[in-house]
Amino acid sequence: MYYLAALLLLAALPVVIILFIVYQKDKNKEPMALLIKLFLSGFLACGLTLFISRILRLFLPFMDGPVASKSFVGVLLYAFIGVALVEEFSKWIMTFVSAYQAKEFDELYDGIVYAIFVSLGFAFLENILYVLNSSSINTALSRAISAVPSHACDAVFMGYYLSMAKNYALRGDHEKERKNIAFSILVPAILHGTYDFCLMSGLKILSYVFIVFVIFLYGTSIQKLKAMSKGNKKIKFENKFCKVCGKLVTSEICPKCGTKQG
């Protein structure tokens, strides 16, 4: 009984710690109801991942069989598409549907908060299942310092690009909005895929690459998180009239005369 409680605590603790840090860095706190909704959406992302994976197994040969039986290319495709892209897309769609159009999404840091809450909802459920299945303290500890933080790091980049997309959307630049939306899926998927491929490949040299990559990932994610929190600003522009020509504007620059609005 006590052993099971210790396993569950180790599975949940890294999630709670990271969420607390991210929440504390938010100067203008998001509604708790929205954050709970996003966290629980991470559970739905787990279900969506399983569903998509099952469908892909019907059409993609590299999805079937244990990793050890796959070729080098098979492992590469499985890591980047079968695992990383599917998982990150599932987390992205939950973040996008739950928060992108929300009226509360009005600051640059908000996108990171939303993406991390969804991602760690996903990681929480995944971690519980892994730890209970293995019944191993070592598994719980290794995932606490690697798998859970890596999910959060991927979410930092997802949230960053979603914030950029929202910012451009409110400025009326929909081409840059679409570009950043694409980045908000692809960049986390590439980071996630690199992490998984290094672990799955079985190549000794990639185990060293993995260590360097994790240090780089954690370092850049923490740096970006701090920078976005410190430099946080509103991304919503209220409708107003140009001080020169009187044209209704919704951004910093008047679309008619080009005057910068003060």
SS (H, E, C) 199-215: HHCCCHHHHHHHHHHHH
Report, as an integer, the average pLDDT of 101-114: 94
Q: What is the pLDDT of residues 185-212, one digit of tens each?
A: 999 999 999 999 999 998 999 999 999 9
pLDDT band, residue 75 (cuts 50/70/90) = very high
CB 134 within 8 A of CB 103: no
Name 62's Cβ contacts closer than 8 Å, sequence gap at least 6.
Answer: 70, 73, 74, 77, 78, 81, 82
pLDDT of 157 > 60? The answer is yes
pLDDT band, residue 56 (cuts 50/70/90) = very high
Percent of the chain with pLDDT over 70: 93
Report, as an integer, the average pLDDT of 118-146: 90
35 or 248, which is more confident: 35
Long-range CB pairs of 216-224 (<8 Å, 24+ gap) are 217/150, 217/153, 217/191, 218/149, 218/153, 221/152, 221/153, 221/156, 221/157, 224/156, 224/157, 224/160
- The HSE-up count of residue 19 (CA atoms within 13 Å, CB side) is 22
Helix axes 147-171, 204-230, angle to 10 degrees: 50
pLDDT of 241 > 60? The answer is no
Domain boundaries, the chain: 2-231, 237-262
Report, as an integer, the average pLDDT of 88-113: 95
pTM above 0.85, yes or no: yes
- What local confidence, expressed as pLDDT, does residue 244 receive? 66
Cα dihedral 184→186→192→193 (10° resolution): 180
CB 149 within 8 A of CB 72: no
Where is average pLDDT lowest: 82-96, 101-115, 167-181, 237-251?
237-251
pLDDT of 262 > 70? The answer is no
As to burial, measured by CB atoms within 10 angstroms (0-12 exposed, 13-18 middle, 19+ buried), residue 251 is: middle
